[in-house]
Amino acid sequence: GIDLAVLYFTLRICDLTFADVLTLPPAPMLSFLVLLNGGYLSTFVAASGQTIGKMAAGTRVVRVDPAAAAHDRVSFGQAVLRAGAYVVSAAPLGLGFLPALFGERRALHDRLADTRVVKA
């Protein structure tokens, strides 16, 4: 939704319609949206372990480290790694999410960042 709002206001500022969306230079727009989404995911997970969607679902991201207490937050580095690895999970038709259905119930991005999603 936020990406669509950014696109809408960018088009408005440039006095373009949605039919003219292809006239926008793709590299700067996609780079901005990647930074916006990555920053959102990383900051929210590092600050509270929850994005807005996770708050609504009643889940949170925690560290897998057995020495960590249940309330210990994910480090910012882990949150950035998890956000970047999310692309790896989603890219090949979402196949990186399949491991969450089996075994430890952790998707590929959770395994790479050493995190897990639990009930809040």
How far apart, in whole angstroms, are the C-alpha atoms of residue 28 and residue 110? 29
pTM: 0.82
pLDDT band at 67 (very low <50, low <70, confident <90, very high): confident
Rounded distance between C-alpha atoms, residue 94 and residue 89, angstroms: 6
Contact 63, 33 (CB under 8 A): no
Cα separations (Å) of 6 from 17, 27, 77, 78?
Answer: 14, 15, 27, 27
Residues forming beta bridges with residue 119, ordered by sequence position:
59
pLDDT tens per residue across span 18-57: 999 999 999 999 999 999 999 999 999 999 999 999 999 9
